Chain A
Amino acid sequence: MLHEAGIPVHDVPFVSVGGGLGSFIMTDVLRICGVPTSSIKVLSNSDTPWQTWEYLTRASQLPPGERIRSDAGARPDNIWGFPSYAVHEAWQDRSPKLLWQVLVEPILTDFFSPRAATVFATVKREADRISYWDMLAKGQVRMVRRRAGGGYFTLLTPPAGTAPTKRVAIRSQYVHLAVGYPGLKFLEDLQRFRETYDDYHRVVNAYEPHEHVYESLKKRPGTVVVRGAGIVASRVLQRLMDDRERYGLHTQIVHMFRTFVTGPHGSGPWMRRPGGDGWAYQAFTFPKSAFGGQLKAQFRRLEGEKRAALAKAVGGTTTPKLRRWQEQMRQGRQGNWYHPIQAVVDKVEPAPDGRLVSHTSSNDGGYGRYVSDFIIDCTGLEADMPEHRVLADLLEHGGARRNGAGRLAVGENFEVTGTASGGGALYASGAAVAGNHFPAVDSFLGMQTAALDIAADLARRGFCADLGPARSFGQWLKWVTGRPV
């Protein structure tokens, strides 16, 4: 059929769709397990594995010099997590203070987190080492389909002018999907406002570039409504407060929490999450043990409703309780320019002077009316998974199905349930497979977990070598000395 359509077919045993950090980590593990570059293709519309992450972090007020959320051991460029990012930065900065921090975290200090720039630089170095660039093929992936004879066809549209045909097909035994987030999610009332009044200037999503908000506040004092209770809300607040201090601004901040957390919460002394001043506090996106300890084991054991109940208990929007942020907010409350409130927004309208009016109701039955110059929506990223074309096609034609959380159902080795094709297998990691046996899959460490489990499955199938202690040690030595795999 493809031949009839004039679409050229290329053969390669393993294809990873996405080319973000998830694909990078997958190829890193496979290379370490002895797979040559000629057996792997990464199909992506990104030039580098960190491109999307860099874009999203930058927009959401995490510039390269700032510290990210995950800890010292979560190194996308190093599957062993040793030496940790703390050691790396301590060496680079000649700063023993960072070593002290990892020694006493999180008891006497906040958790150590690397700078975003450290992640870019180290991933670049590892990408060079594993010859990532030789495996990368640019283009937009249209669909992944099972082949009658086993394995899969992946259909790719290369960038215009780079290939003789509009489309090419890649025939492979294995496919790995790591396509990240399908898009931005907007609060409904804000989306309605933007569409009704065609105003994309005053109402912004924190994940889209919105530098003009901060610039405008430097020129003219104003009021900003911040909505959301996660780490992005924290970062946006930090930016507003830093600017206030640095440039002597008079910005007023109204911070709206849909759920206002007043203190520690949970079902008992063994399940109590810290909280207060509106926030639920947690160092990482999940309790730390969800990344590899007790909670991870519990999730694996549980199924169906019990798993969903546990996910509900430990999930939800949180932010780390960093000393610096606490101090800024304290000053803001004291100085009467930071106003955290519980509020549900019913609608947003333009005021006669062009500013914005948020009409709110609160849990105690009261109504409010807040006038602001800007609204920054910090509530979320992912839209529905089937918003992504490749995933939608897979659900419709590829045998995949959704789990209880609406994402792709996968088995314990991250093979997408229902998509087996002859001796071939289709795997997925990242946001698309949240809500399965491993909740923390959309993180550096989570991606590595998935990649290692997928590689173990591929080793069982004879595609790559097992990563036993001897290979692991030998490969680590190569990593340390910067020699190719």
Chain B
Amino acid sequence: MIPTLAGRLQTRIFLLATVGVVLTALVVPVLPGTTGSPARTYATAYLILLAVAVLGLGWELVYHLLMQFRWDKDWPTIFGLLTIVPEGLLVWVLLDLGMIPGVPGPVAFSTFAVMFGFVWIGQWLFVNGPIRVFFVQWRLRGGRVV
């Protein structure tokens, strides 16, 4: 990817609102370690997704800063995959501390890990190709959707 800052932020929100929402809907019924009603699990899952989006805007600023040290001002494919580690850890710690607003109760690590990993990888795959099928100009505009 060769994102601009605006492109990063737009792509992040766009992906979570589309691919993220759909993949979450698909994965929730098969998540391990869940307790309580499906409605409750859905609510929790989407709150986590929202948290990833909000925190993600902050992460994008950090990534954008780091990218400035690269001569090509690019963001290699593998970075998009590996950043799952810091981002996942942060969300998990906040979740564990009960600091994600609205989440009704404790969430098992297995539940979180499967959901987060599934959505992350799905988005990463989507952004590394299929997105361009719909938005030809996406890659030519630094990842801006609009």
By size class, the interface of chain B is 20 to 34
What 1/0 mask marks residues of chain A from 70 to 91 whose CB sits below 8 Å from any chain B CB?
A: 0001000001111110000000
Contacting residue for B78 out of A107, A292, A296, A472, CB 8 A = A107
CB-based contact B2/A82 at 8 Å? no
CB-based contact A269/B69 at 8 Å? yes
> Closest residue of chain B to A291, judged by CB?
B2
- Given that A103-B78, A282-B71, A289-B2 are known contacts, is A297 also in contact with B142, CB under 8 Å in the complex? yes
CB-based contact B136/A79 at 8 Å? yes
Q: Does B133 make an interface contact (CB < 8 A)?
A: yes
Q: How far is the CA of A473 from the CA of B131 in the complex (A)?
A: 10
The CB with the most chain B CB atoms within 10 A, among A270, A289, A467, A472, is that of A289
Residue numbers in A under 8 Å from B60 (CB-CB): none
Q: Does A63 make an interface contact (CB < 8 A)?
A: no
Q: How far is the CA of A473 from the CA of B78 in the complex (A)?
A: 26
Residue numbers in B under 8 Å from A283 (CB-CB): 72
CB-based contact B73/A476 at 8 Å? no
What 1/0 mask marks residues of chain B from 43 to 57 whose CB sits below 8 Å from any chain A CB?
A: 000000000000000
Nearest CB of chain B from residue A36's CB, rounded to whole Å: 21
CB-based contact A289/B72 at 8 Å? yes
What 1/0 mask marks residues of chain A from 285 to 313 whose CB sits below 8 Å from any chain B CB?
A: 00111011111110000000000000000
Q: How far is the CA of A108 from the CA of B81 in the complex (A)?
A: 14
Nearest CB of chain B from residue A309's CB, rounded to whole Å: 17
Q: How far is the CA of A469 from the CA of B78 in the complex (A)?
A: 27
Residue numbers in B under 8 Å from A103 (CB-CB): 77-78, 81
Contacting residue for A294 out of B69, B73, B78, B81, CB 8 A = B73
CB-based contact B135/A472 at 8 Å? yes
- Given that A80-B133, A103-B77, A288-B2 are known contacts, is A274 also in contact with B71, CB under 8 Å in the complex? yes
Q: How far is the CA of A105 from the CA of B3 in the complex (A)?
A: 17
Q: Does B141 make an interface contact (CB < 8 A)?
A: yes
> Closest residue of chain B to A295, judged by CB?
B73
CB-based contact A84/B129 at 8 Å? yes
List 19 contacting pairs A-B, 8 Å CB cutoff, sorted by A: A73-B139, A80-B136, A82-B132, A103-B77, A103-B78, A105-B76, A269-B69, A270-B69, A283-B72, A287-B73, A292-B2, A293-B1, A293-B3, A293-B73, A294-B2, A294-B67, A297-B142, A452-B136, A452-B137
The 3 closest A-B pairs by CB, nearest first: A293-B2, A289-B73, A288-B72
Report which A residues bind B (CB closer than 8 A).
73, 79-84, 102-108, 266, 269-274, 282-284, 287-289, 291-297, 445, 448-449, 452, 467, 469, 472-473, 476
